[in-house]
């Protein structure tokens, strides 16, 4: 994701995802109200345009440290490849909800990104969707960039 890259999300998808977080906040217990899933996007010139999503867990615990870091990485790479092929998407990003509304990365999120060396983590709150791009492959100090999504109405 180079400088000048812009991220667009259709209003309907933005509303559905933030609404889902709002709903799970209201209806589920503290431990298992977190959503996990994947967002698909197409790349057109310097735009990343969200085209869809899939929720894989609607009742997840928040920020559980992986039992096996290596398996977590393998699973992630495998799932991303599979989803790219199945959904015919250029880009696949993993997302999870922060039902507390905090947009910053949690300690566990940072540890995961650090283990992966590079990647994107999308955070969904009840009122916003944003991403964090992380890359420490070529620098000692990791490069962390906030990805702001611009809402588009179709």
User: Which residues contact Zn ion (rule: CB under 5 A)?
Assistant: 106, 109
The nearest distance, CB 143 to Zn ion, in angstroms, is 19
Identify which of residues 14 and 99 has a Cβ nearer to Zn ion in the complex: 99
Nearer to Zn ion, 35 or 49 (CB): 35
- The rounded distance, in Å, linking the Cα atoms of 54 and 36 is 9
- In the beta sheet, which residues pair with residue 71? none
Nearer to Zn ion, 42 or 103 (CB): 103
**CA 123, CA 29: separation in Å to the nearest integer?**
20
| Nearest distance from C-beta of residue 54 to Zn ion, angstroms | 18
Interatomic CA distance for residues 115 and 113, integer angstroms: 5
In the chain the beta strands, taken as DSSP E runs, fall at: 6-10, 34-44, 47-60, 91-97, 118-124, 129-135, 143-152
Q: Which is nearer to Zn ion, 25 or 109 (CB)?
A: 109
Closest distance between Zn ion and the C-beta of residue 3, in Å?
25
Three-state SS across 58-98? EEECCCCCCCCHHHHHHHHHHHHHHHHHHHCCCEEEEEEEC
| Shortest distance (Å) from residue 108 CB to Zn ion | 7
Alpha-carbon gap, residue 40 to 33, rounded angstroms: 23
Identity of the residue, 83 or 125, whose beta carbon is nearer to Zn ion in the bound complex: 125
Find the shortest distance in angstroms from Cβ 124 to Zn ion. 10
């Amino acid at each position: 994701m180079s400088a000048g890259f812009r991220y667009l999300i259709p209003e309907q998808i933005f509303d559905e995802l933030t609404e889902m977080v709002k709903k799970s906040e209201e209806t589920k217990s503290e431990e298992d109200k977190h959503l996990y899933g994947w967002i698909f996007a197409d790349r057109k010139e310097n735009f990343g345009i969200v085209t869809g999503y899939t929720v894989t867990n609607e009742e997840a615990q928040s920020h559980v440290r992986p039992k096996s870091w290596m398996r977590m990485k393998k699973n992630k790479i495998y799932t991303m490849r599979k989803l790219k092929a199945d959904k015919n998407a250029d880009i696949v990003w993993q997302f999870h909800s922060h039902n507390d509304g905090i947009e910053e990365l949690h300690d566990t999120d940072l540890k995961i990104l650090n283990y992966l060396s590079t990647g994107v983590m999308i955070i969904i709150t009840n009122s916003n969707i944003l991403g964090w791009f992380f890359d420490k492959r070529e620098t000692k100090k990791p490069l962390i960039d906030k990805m702001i999504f611009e809402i588009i109405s179709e």
